[in-house]
Structures are given as structure tokens and as C-alpha cells.
Structure 1
Amino acid sequence: MLVWINGTFGVGKTQTASELHRRLPGSVVCDPEHVGLGLHRMTPPALRSDFQLHPAWRQGVFEVLDLVLGKQQGVVIAPMTLTEPAYYDEILGRLREAGHEVRHFALLADRETVLARLRERSLSRSLKREAFAVAKLDGCLERLRAPEFAEHVETDRLTVPQVADRIAASAGLSLAANADGPLRHRLRRIGVTIRHIRL
């Protein structure tokens, strides 16, 4: 099974993917952003743009996920913002056509909630480093509320473990119990944030 975790930048996709992976034995995280980063590294700065616009990114993500889903015994988790219906069909639709079980979840939250999470992610009160995410925020939230991006998970009043629980319950997955207290949960979130800082 593929569990694609969609949502605007900063809503909690990576944190949720990490939580699912931690509590779901045999699962793997396959982050489609890595395909995009590879494209950026292979092209000169003047040619770099939003990597989702490149057919090579969409084809690459499809091929990698198709390969992993065909060989991996456990659940495959893919955290990635995807707001263009045609791209959704090009990747997730084709994976379904190839015979894979695909579950899609769009994490949603109010604008102010996402801004607060972006501040936390930047480890600063300033949103300077999150200018791209802030610029895309309203458009992403509007598009992801559309029916074609269901299943929707409203996350404003949920912790990361609770979001993971909701996704697992809907997908029919059994997660290991969450034994983290508030301090360990906070430290774990900081650790995930630090590991995913893009320099």
C-alpha cells in the first residue's frame, strides 16, 4: 500500500510521515522531493524552477514508487504537496492503474495554524526562510479542499500522533502504541525538523 500524505507546505506532512513510519513496522518513507532535488542538482541554476513542472519529476516519482511498491512488503509512505489534478492523475492514478493500492490524505488546517507551524519549523519567530511556503499557502489550502483531493484530515486541533492515528484507522493499518510523553514528543519533532532542513 502507498500512503500519500498531501498538504500545504508546513502543515505537518513530514512529521506525520515520520510518526507513521516510527509506529508502523516494515514501512518505508519514499520522499518524492528527493527526485526533485536530484533534478535541481543536475541542472544549472538558471534552469531551475518548480521541479513539479518537469515531466521528468513526475515520471521519476511514478517509476520509483512503482518499483518500491512492487518489491517492498510493508507500507510505503510518501509525503509531498501535490495540488495540480493532472499531476495527481499522472502519478497516483497511474500507480492505481498499475495495480497498487493507493491511499491519499490531504492534511488541512487554518491559515494561522499553518503559519504557526512554519514558524516552529524555521526554529525562529521570523518567516523569512519560509517565504516560498507562505507565498503558496492560500492557493494550496484552497486547491486541497477540493473533492478530488479527499480524503481530508483537519489537523488544527490534533497532535501529530493523533493525525497518524486518523490516517492509520482510515487505511486499515495497525500502529504500535504511542508511548511518548509531551517532552519526548517535542524532542522527536525537533529532531525531524533538523533532519529535514534544506541548506
Structure 2
Amino acid sequence: MNGPFGGGKTQTAHEIRRRLPGSVICDPEHVGFGLHRMLPPGLRGDFQELASWRQGVVEVLDLALTEHDGVVIAPMTVTDSDCFAETVGRLRDLGHDVRHFTLLAERETVLRRLRERGVGNLLGYVAGKGARPHRESWAVRRLDHCLERLGEPEFAEHLWTDRTTVPKTADRIAVLAGLTLEPHTEGALRTRLRQAGVGLRHIRFD
């Protein structure tokens, strides 16, 4: 599941896992975070540029897809064609049925979501509606590039999330992937609280 930071990948992945018995989330970012922590801060760049990240992600997902009896969900922002070929393409070469979806939204929608979930330097930006952040976060700096690249045909199937809910986005992915989700029966308040919890658990400060 691809998309810009703030595009809805994490929430949608957790919604599908919640409503699809036997499914698991295998987040490739965790491999990258581990590699970052092995390096001095001054040497930490885009971990997707490391061959060890690309190889490690393929190895772990190949193991999960081979040995786990259920759907494996992998939310990750990938905009580079070579990186896409070395991860998604490689898993397909290994014989796995990989369904790729890119969640997109208008720029202002993504910025609003980033403010709401408090990514990096945007934590202090929430109260300053319309103001520039004191120091732009990496996610915001990458936003225009992500939206431009991920809108290209090679990153289809595209799903726009501006005017729909997370449960409905999950339903749409399930239909396209041939999956059957359990019904979404939560009330609006419980859904908002659960999604807020997911968002809080995924805020990172390193």
C-alpha cells in the first residue's frame, strides 16, 4: 500500500487488518528505522537508498508471504522506480501475488492530516492555521515530489481519499483485491477514538 506521508496508508492498513481475520501488517519502515539506529545521526539519510534495506524488505516479506497463512499488508511510501522494481517487482518475480495500491489526496488534505497527527516539527504547527512551520518536516519537504511521482501510471492502482472515509477506502481495496472484509459496524465516535490511537502509536521522533 503506497502513498505520500499523510496519505492514509497506516490507518487503512490497520482497518483492513482489523476486519480481515488472519491478515498481518509487515511494515518495511521498521527495517529502515533499525538501519538508522545503527548509524550515527550524521550518516542517516534516506534508508531506501541502502541496498540492505531493499534486500532486507524483500527477504522478510518473502518469508511472511511464504509461511504465513493469510494476507500480508505492507504500507510504505516508495516513489523511486528502481526501488519499486527491487521490492515490489522482486516479490512478484518470486511468484507472490502482490496487489499494489496508491492512496492519493490533494496537497492541502495531506497537509491537514500531517498537522492533525503531529508529524515531526508539525507538532507545534497545529495551532498556527495557515502559518509556515518554524522548521519544515521531512514529510512536508517531500510532499510535492511524492504527489507528482505517485500520480504516474507505474504506481497505479490509484485511490483518492479526500472525500471518503478510511473504512470505505478499505472496502474499495478489498473489492479490487478480491478480499472479503468483515462489516464495519463501529459508531463514529469509537472509530475516531480507535484511529486516534493508531495515529498516536505511529508518531516518531527519531
Decide: shared fold, TM above 0.5.
yes
Deviations 1:73-116 (A, max 9, x none): 10000000000011111011110110100000000111011111
CA spacing shift, 1:169–1:125, aligned 2, 3 Å: farther
Q: Take 1:121 and 1:128, find their aligned partners in 2: how far apart are those partners?
A: 17
Aligned partners of 1:119 and 1:125 also within 8 Å: no
Give the count of matched residue pairs: 195
* TM-score after normalising by structure 2: 0.91
The CA distance in 1 between the partners of 2:54 and 2:186, in whole Å, is 37
C-alpha RMSD over aligned residues: 1.3
User: After the TM superposition, which residues 68-83 of structure 1 pair with which residues of structure 2 at under 5 Å, given as runs?
Assistant: 68-83=64-79
Distance in 2 (alpha carbons) for counterparts of 1:15 and 1:125: 23
Tell me the SS of whatever aligns to 1:8.
coil
Match of 1:84 among 80, 87, 97: 80
Counterpart residue number, 2:185? 179
Unaligned runs of 5+ in 1: none
* Cα distance, 1:125 vs structure 2: 3.7
Matched, 1:118 2:114: yes
- Which of 170, 174, 189 pairs up with 1:168? 174
Q: How does the TM-score come out when normalised to structure 1?
A: 0.94
More displaced, 125-134 or 36-45?
125-134
Is the CA contact (8 Å cut-off) linking 1:21 and 1:29 kept in structure 2? yes
What are the equivalent positions in structure 2 for 1:121-140 lying under 5 Å apart? 121-122=117-118, 124-125=126-127, 131-140=137-146
Is 1:30 matched with 2:26?
yes
Q: Percent same amino acid among aligned pairs?
A: 65
Q: Secondary structure at the match of 1:6?
A: coil
Tell me the distance in 2 between the aligned counterparts of 1:61 and 1:20: 21
